Amino acid sequence: MDCDVLVVGLGPAGCGAAQAAAAAGAKVLAIDRKKEIGVPVQCGEVIGKGLLRSSGLKLPRQAICSHQDHTRFVIDRSISIRNYAEQWASVSVERKILDKLLAARAATEGASVQADTTLIDLDINGDIVESATLRMRGRDVTVHPKTLIAADGVHSTVAKMTGVCWSSPDMVAHGGEFEMISKRPLPRCMQIFIEEEVGLGYGWIIPKGRKRANVGLAEVGDRGRIRDRVEKWVEDNPIVSHYFDTDCIIEVKSGDAPVPGFQGGPVRGNVLYTGDAAGQTLAFVGEGIVPAYLCGLVAGECAARSPEMYDSVLRERMGDEMDYASDLKDVILSVWQDESLNLHQRFLVAGMVMSESISPESLEKLIDGEMPSFQELKKMAGSSNPHVRMSRMIGRRRYKG
């Protein structure tokens, strides 16, 4: 079997790649090892509205669960920061539905879409993939693609077979979450928690309706079974436990996400890497659905026409936003690991950067000088971003040092 483009993986990146390559006139075979595309869910299922608007992507109505008008950052259980800027408004989606509909768009453009189809082996000559062996619903098939697109996630099988590594193990965030039914109506906002109990990462409540939400955490590094840690965090965090009990869990989800920072459009021989397989996420918050889809569109278009142009075209279209996210991620990591700050200061400064309450340029002045009072921080946040509102929380922690 011959094809112009073989796409491995049918998440948002692979669906975008298959759609664009087929629309450009290529003969496309797109495969996914899952028996049901989009299952299991491995993400928080939320998209920033600012990114959605700038991308021009129209979400299928049947995939939309809820809309949030702002994001609330809860820092060390002592400070609340609300960002009402458009990029922090969000829409929650049902990935089980969204991924299938994106795959259907690719099929409508003419791509052959095949679930329950696994990549078994690659025949590689130098850096060129000459053939791929697939197990397609129980039978082995050999495919000879002109170009292969690796869209098979952070633990990419294609990357392992081709001997490349775009995300080192210490730059992978491990996430776990429960989809839960709340005891009371949820506020119309996404909530992000930055605190010692979570570690080098963050927790979240992402509404999927008035009384339904994804509740979870993600962290860089390995501190034990992520699902056990999510359960303990849900029970111990006073805000989370105000809304949720662990006896109302309707789905358990887990997944890893790359946080290496933007590396452009990686190419090795006739293989293009996209989505999580190439670290193409907004690294400081781990948002990957729309970035992966848009990067996949570029990968598919270039695979069909000029594979060698992938990196330059992607940097031109996506570079500014992706580089900005990478820079914020680097700043946040440096703050989290700054031993000159006590725990509360680390979480406070990192949270203010993540919430875009202060700019990275203000960071050095903030850290090198005496830590400002809450009122001074509040004034600083308002002058840096008028969409930000800060407030103290009752029962705040106290740390020494």
Helix (H) or strand (E) holding 192: strand 189-194
Kindly state whether residue 398 falls inside one of the protein's structural domains.
no
118 and 23, same structural domain? yes
The stretches in the chain having pLDDT less than 70 are 167, 223-224, 365, 368-369, 394-401
The beta-strand segments (E) located in 50-125 are: 64-68, 70-75, 79-83, 90-93, 112-114, 117-125
Does residue 48 come out as left (phi exceeding 0), alpha (psi in the -120 to 50 range) or beta?
beta
Residue 213 lies in a domain: yes
Give tens-digit pLDDT for 22-72: 999 999 999 999 999 999 998 999 999 988 888 888 899 999 999 999 999
CA 331 to chain centre: 18
The encoded tokens of residue 176 equal 């776990």
Instruction: Identify whether residues 271 and 252 lie together within a single domain.
Output: no
Within a domain: residue 59? no
Shared-domain flag, residues 35 and 130: yes
pLDDT digits (tens, 9 = 90+) for 58-85: 899 999 999 999 999 999 999 999 999 9
Asked whether residue 57 is assigned to any structural domain, the reply reads no
Give the model's pLDDT for residue 335: 87
Cβ contact 141:133 at 8 Å: yes
Structural domains in the chain (count)? 3
**Residue that finishes a domain, picked among 243, 258, 273:** 258
- Of 230, 258, 286, which closes a domain? 258
Whether 49 maps to a domain, the answer reads no
The domain that holds 76 is classified in CATH as 3.30.9.10
Evaluate whether residue 47 is within a structural domain: no
Q: 70-75 and 189-194 as β-strands: parallel, antiparallel, unpaired? A: parallel
Question: What is the pLDDT at residue 369?
Answer: 66
* Residue 52 maps to a domain: no
276 domain-assigned: yes
pLDDT tens for 83-116 read 999 889 999 999 999 999 999 999 999 999 999 9
> What pTM did the predictor assign?
0.92
Q: Using alpha carbons, list the distances in angstroms from residue 141 to 22, 55, 232, 270.
A: 21, 37, 46, 20
Residues 184 and 252 in one domain: yes
Q: DSSP string spanning 124-176?
A: EETTEEEEEEEEETTEEEEEEEEEEEE-S-TT-HHHHHHT--SS-GGGEEEEE
266 and 253 together in one domain: no
Phi, psi of 200 (to 5 degrees): -80, 75
Whether residues 85 and 196 fall in one domain: yes
360 in the same domain as 275: no
* Boundaries of domain holding 270: 2-42+96-168+259-323
Residues 361 and 228 occupy one common structural domain: no
The residue among 211, 227, 258 that closes a domain is: 258
The whole-number pLDDT of residue 398 equals 43
145/6 Cα distance (integer angstroms): 6
pLDDT at 196: 86
- Do 227 and 373 fall within a single domain? no
Which residues face 148 on adjacent strands? 6, 271
358-384 burial by CB neighbour count: b if 16+ within 10 A, else e?
bebebbeebbeeeeeeeeebbebbeee
The token pair at 16 is: 């975008």
Provide the pairing of β-strand 79-83 with 70-75.
antiparallel
Q: Are residues 32 and 106 in the same domain?
A: yes
Whether residues 114 and 15 fall in one domain: yes
| CATH number where 272 lies | 3.50.50.60
Residues 174 and 242 in one domain: yes
> 152 near 8, Cβ under 8 Å?
yes
